[in-house]
Structure 1
């Protein structure tokens, strides 16, 4: 019986296997690798086994779950059960395919460590700067969303014990300190704790809302009549739940064997799709249209505190991992051509800390400037996840198969599929920016840089 990874490999091979071998072994007559020869280096980066990458991909589960799943019940309330199930499963399947294409693109060009490297292949120096800027901004926005969630958590646990800005600053400092390890292998252990905490918190929330309803939930609807802004805002919140792709190049580059990545990808997507459907539907069923975003707030006066307390590791840890991806890009870009990356001296460590402090401060500014959870996630999805998780997957495939796109019926079908994926990314970006911008403008609860209770 074939595995999901085998099924994907059979369905969409970009190149014959022997051709990939040749391309991976040779580029301009020499072996090319993102981090070069690490023999004897003080700091080694290529240390991830496939299961550890799976754990790092569980970090991406933690990221998507910690923020993505917390907005899904409210998305179901805006769209209804049937459209939500179709979108959660459908977008998850497309995200699995685009993730596989990213892995094929990385095998074709083994020197890729980040999105900027991919951008240079597609569009030259301009593409490097454009994609690099996008990766940095995406990471910083994600970091900001975790700072915002940390403030919501602290307001919930302490019944608004002090100014929300103070909680945000505390969250920023904690995340910044946890970002100090320079290698992804060291971050892996944070990911395991992060995953366990958010999974437990979601379970507590589902049990809590079920107990409160005494087995009888409010009226729920299969479909909901709604307007463009709330409906598409809900769609972008579902898209955010599949935002992990921005980290895939970095994860693959630190694997001992990049060919094992499809195993990690399947591990991610199967779990995500299943948990998203179950958690979103159960919480919506028992809470109804009044479900909160983040969803943990719907667990009741006592249990929501329990849920947020359990979720502390993922609120911090998943933000740290996503921050690590952005910090690593800047660090790699500045010092990859020097020996600094592989040293432990004051200059190497001090540079890493300076980059971290700068990025986390910017993330704090974003969190306080857009202090509404669902609106911030919608903006992030529209600006970045629309392309990083969807549209660019189609572009990568077109590049890999340029000149062969109409060579066979299968290639023609895949060309149509990938053109559709590019169109999906463009639609999510354009329409998503409109609805998220309007929601931020119209939301009467928006109150930037104040001490109000964000919970």
Structure 2
């Protein structure tokens, strides 16, 4: 029986050679097509990773700190950073064992012993997660346009405009083209939106309002080491899920790796992303919490006291909002596209049928996403629901299982391997905790939203921050 069938790690030179031979063959086959997918260098992959992960959710982290306080909040952020690195490296090692993996669905298929049920389950989760996230970005785009225009148009119409822009930008079929957009996206969010927010938060006299009333209804701005008295477990759990959501983008990583010319270089791109994330996901939220304190909202732009400050910083969010939606749409469309056309020539050639199916799929994706963007009551709680439901699997559980598959038969062979094994057991437990108590907290928060005043579906109401 071959080692591939046994599920053991590729520890021998012969196995590594087989893996690289497979990669070489896959790249050669791809480069013989009209539409070439496996073309990205690790530099472009790093840009794509940053463009996908440097997102508006960064601006919700000050609110998480306002719920958890400095100590639990920073510990959660640092722990998520460590878990992100280790799970991503495990994922890459496993894909190097099976270079033919094209997406997270293939990944699930292999780690569960070539299970078709696991493939179908992973496919459903991929579609649900990505389409809902595209919906989140459609709603965010509508909020930006509402804010900039002082609600000059019906919010549902703004959502239609954002959806159409997303469809047009999603027409390129390769991530190589999208990687160029990602560089622009990062610059707009960090180089403009976040920096302007930090400057404005520092120079203004006071915040505008928080979830407990306008300033100074909740007293002077203050920060604190631990949650304030009266903070509920559900609120704390949702704050943790908010942080987790930001740090768990691995559902897209197998697709990114599959479009690299040298997928073995992915750890270089991952190292760049981890360094960027460690700074952006902790420093700006900490500064925001320092100046906004208990008045922090999600996103933090809403707490700014001067309307012109709010518009100047929040306006730049429209670019990453559109481009991140494009990245998720591209990965989602590729999965459906391959399922519909299989290995026919239309999959990788410039044919009328091929492009017609691609356009139809993209329109369908954005139509479903538009509906989700209009019917959900609260995007903040919705992100917690996404984190609990999907990130529990695609951020923790899947990769703990992949580690077991890679090292089955030698889980405790030496001190280093033993420590790694125990750590991956911890990762698996974290995934179960996010899925169980985390999902309960997210559902409880959404129930509370529905019991209060919620924005009706397909509304014209002003949704400016």
Same fold (TM over 0.5): yes
Whether 1:169 aligns to 2:160 is yes
1:86-165 mapped onto 2 (5 Å cutoff):
86-123=75-112, 124-165=115-156
1:48-447 mapped onto 2 (5 Å cutoff):
48-62=40-54, 66-123=55-112, 124-199=115-190, 200-213=192-205, 218-225=221-228, 226-299=231-304, 300-443=306-449, 444-447=452-455
Change (3 A) 1:269 1:358: same
Q: Take 2:373 and 2:28, find their aligned partners in 1: how far apart are those partners?
A: 37
Number of the residue aligned with 1:21 = 16
Number of the residue aligned with 1:5 = none
Shift of 1:15: 4.2
Q: Are the aligned partners of 1:201 and 1:296 in contact in 2 as well (CA < 8 Å)?
A: no
Deviates more, 1:158-167 or 1:250-259: 158-167
Cα shift readout 1:3-36 (whole Å, capped 9, x = no counterpart): xxxxxxxxxx964362552341467xx9764x77
Shift of 1:354: 0.7
Q: Take 2:118 and 2:20, find their aligned partners in 1: how far apart are those partners?
A: 25
Q: Are the aligned partners of 1:201 and 1:307 in contact in 2 as well (CA < 8 Å)?
A: yes
- Partner of 1:446, secondary structure, is coil
Shift of 1:445: 4.2
Number of the residue aligned with 2:215 = none
Shift of 1:268: 0.8
- Partner of 1:218, secondary structure, is coil
Cα shift readout 1:319-361 (whole Å, capped 9, x = no counterpart): 1112211111111233342111211111111100111111111
Gaps of 5+ in 2: 1-7, 208-219
CA RMSD of aligned residues (A): 2.0
1:3-18 mapped onto 2 (5 Å cutoff):
15-16=10-11, 18=13
Change (3 A) 1:380 1:210: same
Q: Take 1:32 and 1:442, find their aligned partners in 2: how far apart are those partners?
A: 54
Q: Take 1:15 and 1:211, find their aligned partners in 2: how far apart are those partners?
A: 56
Deviates more, 1:109-118 or 1:331-340: 331-340
Deviates more, 1:412-421 or 1:290-299: 290-299
Deviates more, 1:16-25 or 1:304-313: 16-25
Q: Are the aligned partners of 2:292 and 2:303 in contact in 1 as well (CA < 8 Å)?
A: yes
Q: Are the aligned partners of 1:201 and 1:308 in contact in 2 as well (CA < 8 Å)?
A: yes
Q: Are the aligned partners of 2:108 and 2:398 in contact in 1 as well (CA < 8 Å)?
A: no
Q: Take 2:197 and 2:179, find their aligned partners in 1: how far apart are those partners?
A: 26
**TM value normalised by structure 1:** 0.92
Change (3 A) 1:155 1:445: farther
Q: Take 2:92 and 2:401, find their aligned partners in 1: how far apart are those partners?
A: 13
Shift of 1:411: 2.1
Q: Take 1:280 and 1:20, find their aligned partners in 2: how far apart are those partners?
A: 45
Cα shift readout 1:287-322 (whole Å, capped 9, x = no counterpart): 121112112222331111111222221111111112
- Partner of 1:44, secondary structure, is coil
Count of paired positions:
436
Shift of 1:96: 0.8
- Partner of 2:371, secondary structure, is helix
Cα shift readout 1:340-393 (whole Å, capped 9, x = no counterpart): 121111111110011111111111111112142211211111111222122211
Q: Are the aligned partners of 1:163 and 1:452 in contact in 2 as well (CA < 8 Å)?
A: yes
Deviates more, 1:391-400 or 1:289-298: 289-298
Q: Are the aligned partners of 1:82 and 1:222 in contact in 2 as well (CA < 8 Å)?
A: yes
Q: Are the aligned partners of 2:221 and 2:295 in contact in 1 as well (CA < 8 Å)?
A: no
- Partner of 1:113, secondary structure, is coil
Runs of 4+ in 1 over 3 A off after TM superposition: 13-17, 30-33
Number of the residue aligned with 2:461 = 452
Whether 1:42 aligns to 2:42 is no
Deviates more, 1:410-419 or 1:102-111: 410-419
Cα shift readout 1:191-214 (whole Å, capped 9, x = no counterpart): 111111110201111111111038
Q: Are the aligned partners of 1:20 and 1:107 in contact in 2 as well (CA < 8 Å)?
A: no
Q: Take 1:389 and 1:405, find their aligned partners in 2: how far apart are those partners?
A: 21
